[in-house]
Structure 1
């Protein structure tokens, strides 16, 4: 019990940042025994955030149309509208996937708290890097958010600039930034800041939730691999252990498939919009380098966007590698000179079909897809720079 208590405290510490950020935007699933008051609050919270994000997206789309004559301004508005739209869609998808997400959360907690010590140690070693990367990503997203919120204030106060710019841009149905007087500008600034804060919380909460769940899925396959590698044919309980191994393998597959159902549509949108976002952010950064302003803001945005794509690809690649590796571990086991049990053959045959996270079944989340997105984004960026120079 003391051994599991140690892992319980560690798990609660590791999952807390992700859980807190996700609860801010109603992504984290409610427990099955949650009261009516908590469920009602969650419903109001969900609709309030969706409404706020939708209004912001509409304003940014109007601003994009309004600034079509100015390529830099139009791309900035398009970049922001895409980010907010993706955040709103994520919230809607996670709302519809609460049952699957609850199963994933409960299984993760159970694996850390109720599994034998050697199994938990394997899960811990595989998952620690994912939790550390999650913390880094949350910090980078919130740093980006704060830079967007406070840089316009610093420009207006310290540099005495007359132009009044909103943090996440958008003139809100053609209110003029310069001429809008108090309290209209201040109210819209607060609204824009809150909308951006919620949008960043959705992005960080959803991305880190995806990361730790998929990494956990790969760790479940690692447990199966460790059992197969440590098992000796001379063990009198070998057949019973192998039957248990088949059960663990099935549980890992079910868990990975559940993660895939939750993530696949998000992965598709992430890789499609990520191409454009990296391209637009790079374009803005090149313009900023020339104009010597707001470099911190868009530099942080570009780092966060790239890290987000890398997180999707990293977790997907680990899941593919570990699920395929189950067959390798079974094949390389100490079974030379004896009959291969039926349970072992089942594991080897099933592992030929690897578990993976797909982008709505179109392609897999892996390092190959990550490099493909970077290559495509660079090509589009080169095209935009050529058009601008002409």
Structure 2
């Protein structure tokens, strides 16, 4: 089982393609999928141009919003209705820049996954890895559906349903996605209106794909690590196979392979933490504030008998809550899988091993006892308890906000 000649999966290319298919599509749409081979200068240049266009779209969304909020609006309540969007439109560019900064780390993690697929040992290991790959795909697909459903209910459906508004002096205001202040032109005149409306929709696609990419990167690498830990626990349980337990050399070889693979997993987890820690911190902190504000918008919309506004913000509230829950769920799965490896290390029939080899398990137990938690910026753990704390914090701020604004 552990002979070097057997450490090759002839179908690894198909397995890798299945693992990263959806993630490559999502990341490729925003130019974040890493380049593994040497490509022509023209292709690299086109990638730089596309990233520049995406940064322009994110700025086109943020800057006019901020100008309208600070230069046009002059009351606290009117600015309060805009601050949720300001937080969101500031959070997304920060996550996009973080993705660009860690592109090399994404490439190294992908090489690690490819090497693991090449070295699949048997059908059971392959089944475990495929199950985790399927879970990672499912998480990304669900997150993308939630984000686009909530986003386009706000950016497309709500403006269309509201229709045109006639104000004083018979001035007709055509609906835009959001209130903005454009210094150099009037967005209500054609063709400026059509261009601005289209760019808002295009910007929405970039925004929601960026948020889905953060979730996708986290789910892809973390679920792969969970699969490797699950395999490691299976190897430990099979360490004292009845047919081979009497062969000290075979047992020593298997134990050495287990320890080396555990070290490899720990290094991979450290790389994952460096990659996703900052992005998760930005999303968790920003989303906590946004949850509070969305709850406020739902309540105020209901008080104004604005059912469309309340429904739209309720859908967005559900989407943001789901996004935070998914990140915490991934962290919880990783933590529980690490605990399973530790428990397996402590409960195998180590007393059947020769005394010299049994002592080697001390290193394994020490490594397994070290937490495998995923943290948001090394500030707090991603777990179900953290999700509960985030929701309670958002509700506390919402209660405070309602008290101040009544």
TM-score (norm 1): 0.90
Partner of 1:129 in structure 2? 135
**How many angstroms does 1:333 deviate by?**
0.9
| Structure 2 gap ranges (5+) | 1-5
Q: Which runs of 5+ in 1 are unaligned?
A: none
**2:325 aligned with 1:317, yes or no?**
no
1:144 pairs, out of 137, 147, 150, with: 150
Question: Separation in 2 of the partners of 1:171 and 1:144?
Answer: 24
Looking at structure 1, the residues matched to 113 and 74 of structure 2 have their Cα atoms a distance apart, in angstroms, of 48
Pick closer, same or farther for the CA change 1:174–1:44 going to 2, 3 Å. closer
Structure 1 counterpart SS, 2:369: coil
Partners of 1:300 and 1:18 in 2: CA distance:
25
Aligned residues: 385
CA distance in 2, matches of 1:304, 1:85: 18
Q: How does 1:1-390 map to 2 (within 5 A)?
A: 8-9=13-14, 11-65=16-70, 66-69=72-75, 71=77, 73-116=78-121, 117-155=123-161, 157=163, 162-173=172-183, 180-232=188-240, 234=245, 236=247, 237-290=250-303, 291-338=306-353, 339=355, 340-389=357-406
Offset, 1:167: 1.6
Q: Distance in 2 between matches of 1:356 and 1:68?
A: 45
1:30 is paired with a residue whose SS is coil
Distance in 2 (CA, whole Å) between partners of 1:248 and 1:160 is: 68
Q: Which moved more, 1:51-60 or 1:277-286?
A: 51-60
Give secondary structure in 2 for the equivalent of 1:294. helix
User: In structure 2, do the counterparts of structure 1 residues 9 and 286 end up closer, same or farther at CA, with 3 Å as the change threshold?
Assistant: farther
For 1:185 and 1:221, locate their aligned partners in 2 and report how far apart those are by CA, in whole Å: 54
Q: Secondary structure at the match of 2:375?
A: coil
> Deviation at 1:294?
2.9
CA drift of 1:321 comes to 2.0
Alpha carbons of structure 1 residues 35 and 334: separation in structure 2 relative to 1, 3 Å: farther
Against the structure 1 CA distance between its residues 160 and 8, is the aligned structure 2 distance closer, same or farther, given a 3 Å change threshold?
Answer: farther
Q: Deviations over 1:85-138 (max 9, x none)?
A: 221111111111111100112222333354123222222233433321211111
The SS at the match of 2:351 is coil
After TM superposition, what 4+ stretches of structure 1 lie above 4 angstroms from structure 2?
3-8, 156-162, 173-177
Deviation at 1:143, TM superposition (A): 1.6
**How far, CA to CA, are the matches of 1:106 and 1:68 in structure 2?**
53
TM-score by length of 2: 0.86
**CA offset digits 1:259-302 (Å, max 9, x no partner):** 11111111221221111011111111222333212344322211
CA distance in 1, matches of 2:395, 2:183: 33
Deviation at 1:33, TM superposition (A): 2.9
The Cα of 1:206 is off from its aligned counterpart by 1.8
Residue 316 and residue 169 in structure 1: after superposition, are their counterparts in 2 closer, same or farther (change >3 A)? farther
Return the offset for 1:10. Answer: 5.5
Root-mean-square deviation (CA, aligned residues, Å) is: 2.6
In the superposition, relative to structure 1, how do residues 34 and 303 fare at CA in structure 2: closer, same or farther (>3 Å)?
farther
